[in-house]
Chain A
C-alpha cells in the first residue's frame, strides 16, 4: 500500500536550518510529484512547493523562495525539504504529500507530519 513516512520532530534555534525527509513506499517515487505543505498551530494549510522527483525540477511558493530547497534521492525513494533562516513563525507541522498521477496538482496521500519547533 502507498505510504509516505516522514522523519521525526525537530527543535531548532532561530537562524538555524531544518531538513525533513519523506520516504515513499508502495509506489515509484519518480512517477509522482511530491508536495510540501505546512500548518502552524491552530492555523490553516500553507503550500510551500513541489518537486518532480523524476527530473528534480521544483516550484516554490514566492514566500519561501530563497529559503527553501526541495531535493530527492531516488536510490532510496526519499524526498527532502530544507528550510533555512528559521524564526518562531516557522513553528509548524510540515507535511510531505504525493501529487496525483494525472496532473500532479492534487494531493492523494499525505505523510504523518513532522512538527518543527523553533525556539531559543
Chain B
C-alpha cells in the first residue's frame, strides 16, 4: 500500500484560506468515506481534525472543513491563523482492511 499523495508544503497569510489535497486510489480514498486529517505541531503528537471526510471532532473549530471527489480528498482551512501552522496528514481506510497516511504537508502562515 503506497502512501497517499500530498503537496510537500503550502502557505498562506493570516485571514486567507488554503486547501491541502490528498490523492489516493479507488482502493482507499475513492472507495470509502473513512478519510481523516491530523494536525501535528513540532515535538507533539498528532491531533485529529476531521473524520469521515468532513466531520469535526468536538472542540475543533469550524474553520476546518473537508471534502472528497473521486480519489482525492481535500482539507480547507479558512480564516488562517498563526496557530494553524504545522504539519497536516491525511489518512484513509483501504481495501486491505488497513490504514494509510499521506506523506504530510507543511503549512506555513506567512
Q: Which residues of A are in contact with B by a Cβ distance under 8 Å? A: 35, 37, 44-47, 49-50, 59-63, 95, 97, 100, 103, 105-108, 110-113
B48 touching A107, Cβ below 8 Å: yes
A-B contact pairs, 30 of them (CB 8 A): A35-B99, A44-B3, A44-B87, A44-B101, A44-B103, A45-B38, A45-B40, A45-B89, A45-B101, A46-B3, A47-B91, A59-B97, A59-B98, A61-B1, A61-B98, A61-B99, A62-B98, A63-B1, A97-B45, A100-B51, A105-B34, A105-B36, A105-B51, A106-B48, A107-B38, A107-B46, A107-B48, A108-B48, A110-B45, A111-B45
Given A100-B51, A105-B93, answer yes or no on A47-B101 (Cβ-Cβ < 8 Å): yes
List residues of chain A with CB within 8 A of the CB of B87: 44
Q: Is the interface of B mostly helix, strand, loop or mixed?
A: strand
